Amino acid sequence: MAKPKIVICLGSSCFARGNEENIKVVEDYLTRNSYQDEVDVELSGTLCQGKCADGPNVIINGEFYSKIDPGVMLDLLKKLLPPRA
């Protein structure tokens, strides 16, 4: 089974709109729940398929999400990777 893949855009628009904080949310969640070795996290400075104005953008397992704030990022992580006790 392939590892889940999270792509966080680091283009200037997405980074300035909040992906800097989203990176911290992802890293903290993966560490806190012992998922850090089970998920591929890719930080990318691409143009996010031309949707920079909708940022911050994140792609999870090939599905594109826009306007992702830290709360939404945490909800997406919980859905993808349930918290471990």
Q: What is the pTM of this model?
A: 0.86
User: pLDDT of 52-83, one tens digit each?
Assistant: 889 999 999 899 999 999 999 999 999 999 99
Question: What are the residues facing 40 on neighbouring strands?
Answer: 5
The pLDDT mean for the chain works out to 87
pLDDT computed for residue 63 by the predictor = 94
What sign does the dihedral 25-17-42-78 (CA atoms) show?
Answer: positive
CB–CB of 21/54 below 8 Å? no
Strands 40-44 and 5-9 come out as parallel
CA distance 21 to 66: 15
pLDDT computed for residue 44 by the predictor = 65
